[in-house]
Homo-oligomer: A and B are copies of this chain.
Amino acid sequence: MRFTSETSSDGVSEQLFTLGEIPGVLWTPEDANGPRPLVLMGHGGGQHKKAPGIVFRAGRFVAECGYAVVAVDVPGHGDRPKDEEYDRIATANQARADAGEELAPLIASFQALVARRTVPEWRAVLDAVQKLDHVGTGPVGYWGVSLGCGLGVPFVAAEPRVRAAVLGLGGALSSAGDATRITVPVEFLVQWDDERVPRAQSLALFDALGSAEKTLHANPGKHAEIPAFEMDSTLRFFARHLR
């Protein structure tokens, strides 16, 4: 793990790093010392580790809860090289969608393909980050919606360090099997008028989660229109479970 820059503002320290070929960012309280809860965040499709929705939430996790937060670029995103296989599939999928094919199954199978790389990458990121003195081996949470849900479900299913997860804007097509193996508390976000994920598939993914404690929050609006008050709920959800 190699740190390439460190800045800080408003009490939040931001360290850019690479772990092998994976570019990442770690946010911690400026004066962080000793172990603390860690939230791994998965960004959305076409976004990257410092997308505004990631940076905004990470800032609140750090400033209001004292957590460490880590996010990395998904293959083919952000500072990572273009991935020829992914690009070929994405182009083919776009053509099929333009020709009238249903979008959700195409997205789902693409996310399942990407997850085969991101699950081991994210586990390695946890290994590396938890070795740092100002992160340590506290409880781990996961936050990811849309692509971050498609990749997050297999990650949370595979990674026993994760104690609680916020997921959503994703459907059951690719990940219902993994979802049944998730047993930690989940807060699951659904946009009632999601133009990308059919409502029934969102509800089916929530239904498939094996967790005894899971709570679905559905709000009107399109895919990207999660209301601001859900972030307050997310903070309280992690506060309950990442002690």
**Which residues does A use to contact B, with CB under 8 Å?**
190, 192, 203, 206-207, 212-220, 227, 229, 232-233, 236, 240
Contacts and interface: CB of A to CB of B under 8 A. Distances in A.
B218 A206 contact: yes
Given A207-B192, A233-B233, A236-B232, A219 B227 contact: no
A183 B206 CA distance: 28
Contacts of A214: 219-220
13 contacts: A192-B207, A206-B218, A212-B220, A213-B219, A213-B220, A214-B219, A215-B217, A215-B218, A215-B227, A215-B229, A216-B217, A216-B219, A232-B236
Contacts of A227: 213, 215
Given A215-B218, A217-B217, A233-B233, 19 more contacts: A190-B216, A192-B216, A206-B218, A212-B220, A213-B219, A213-B220, A213-B227, A214-B219, A215-B217, A215-B219, A215-B227, A215-B229, A216-B216, A216-B217, A216-B218, A216-B219, A218-B218, A229-B240, A232-B236
A208 to B, nearest CB: 12
Contacts of A215: 217-219, 227, 229
Contacts of A218: 206, 215-216, 218
4 A-B pairs with the lowest CB-CB distances in the bound complex, closest first: A216-B218, A215-B219, A217-B217, A214-B220
A30 B161 CA distance: 48
Nearest to A229: B240
Nearest to A215: B219
Contacts of A217: 215-217
A192 B203 CA distance: 10
A59 B209 CA distance: 34
Contacts of A236: 232
Contacts of A213: 219-220, 227
Contacts of A220: 212-214
A165 to B, nearest CB: 16
A219 B185 CA distance: 11
A140 B63 CA distance: 35
A215 to B, nearest CB: 5
A229 B187 CA distance: 12
Contacts of A216: 190, 192, 216-219
A218 B216 CA distance: 5
